[in-house]
Amino acid sequence: MKLVRYGQVGEERPGLIDADGTLRDLSDQVSDIDGSTLAPATLQRLAALDPSDLPRVPGTPRFGPCVGKVGKLVCIGLNYSDHAAESGLEVPSEPIVFLKATSAITGPNDEVELPLGAEKVDWEVELAFVIGTRAKNVSKEDALSHVAGYMILNDVSERAWQAERQGQWTKGKSHDSFAPMGPWLVTADEIADPHDLNMQLDVDGVRRQTGSTRTLIFGIDHLVSYLSGFMTLEPGDVVTTGTPPGVGLGLRPQVFLKEGQVMRLEIDGLGVQQQKCVRRAAS
């Protein structure tokens, strides 16, 4: 299934995309696409529905983040061997983990705000997954059974804030709008192999990132097992798995986002998202 949340900011309703690409409303079935909906029994119930019996949503409403009420947004750094190479850094011996504020989460096609004083805002196309059942100290062999589905996430980053100022990466990753998510959550049963997905990102029509999850250093099963030893992963928690090469920081000369530029992201089977970069006056 392709599960979505559609409507104005803060008023999103649950829906699904049927085989013909039509948006269908799920409001009579579930209250939201969130941790309470992602349990295996609920997903099985939704999968058994005949989409043609669900109300068709007219027009082209805004898509919100495809998962609501995210408890934790956990990020993995330097998780592609070719991205580590372009960064001039050694392949890590274990996952690099940081958190991104959930207030950064926005819809897949919402505008990305360039923060006041920011000069090095960068793009990162990433495969993300959402937890469907509670995971604590799980084995690698059992790890994928805790994953409800997959999505695209743009891990937008302000590189100077991330690396040139004291403290953690989190402050360079967490500005409002720095985590566009979606367009939809694709349930795990529809992704034959999450470790064999092509991914790409364009800026103003120029290809910047071309990669594949085949070059992941730590796979999704490893990440679920590893993270669950440090923190309990709850239903609705999102983990984003790192980015392939081609980020602005790694280009020579370096290139960063400017007002008016448009990013377009795509991953096999997970759809397309697109954001325009804007600046807003201080409030």
Beta-carbon contacts of residue 249 (< 8 Å; ≥ 6 apart):
87, 120, 122, 159
Residues 210-240 as b/e (b if ≥16 CB within 10 A, e otherwise) read ebbbebbbbbbbbbbbbbbeeeebebbbbbb
Q: What residue ranges of the chain have pLDDT lower than 70?
A: 281-283
Q: Look at residue 9 in the predicted model and tell me its pLDDT.
A: 97
Q: Look at residue 166 in the predicted model and tell me its pLDDT.
A: 79
Q: Look at residue 283 in the predicted model and tell me its pLDDT.
A: 57
- Residue 275 backbone phi and psi in degrees, to 5: -135, 140
Fold of domain 68-278: Fumarylacetoacetate hydrolase; domain 2 (3.90.850)
Q: Look at residue 82 in the predicted model and tell me its pLDDT.
A: 78
Q: Look at residue 118 in the predicted model and tell me its pLDDT.
A: 93
Q: pLDDT tens digit string along 23-71? A: 999 999 999 999 999 999 999 999 999 999 999 999 999 999 999 999 9
Q: Look at residue 143 in the predicted model and tell me its pLDDT.
A: 98
- Helix-strand-coil split of the chain, %, nearest 5: 20, 30, 50
Q: Look at residue 89 in the predicted model and tell me its pLDDT.
A: 72
Q: pLDDT tens digit string along 78-112? A: 999 877 777 777 888 999 999 999 999 999 999 99
Q: Look at residue 281 in the predicted model and tell me its pLDDT.
A: 67
Q: Which of 220, 215, 240 is nearest to 80 (CA)?
A: 215
Q: Look at residue 103 in the predicted model and tell me its pLDDT.
A: 98
Neighbour tally for 111: CB within 10 Å: 15
Q: Which of 214, 205, 209 is nearest to 246 (CA)?
A: 209
Q: Look at residue 172 in the predicted model and tell me its pLDDT.
A: 95
Name the one residue in this structure whose structure tokens are 């372009």: 86
Q: Which of 155, 162, 92, 99 is nearest to 128 (CA)?
A: 155
Whole-number Å distance between alpha carbons of 210 and 134: 33
Q: What CA–CA distances, in Å, run from 213 to 30, 37, 112, 127, 244? A: 32, 27, 25, 8, 8
Q: Look at residue 127 in the predicted model and tell me its pLDDT.
A: 98
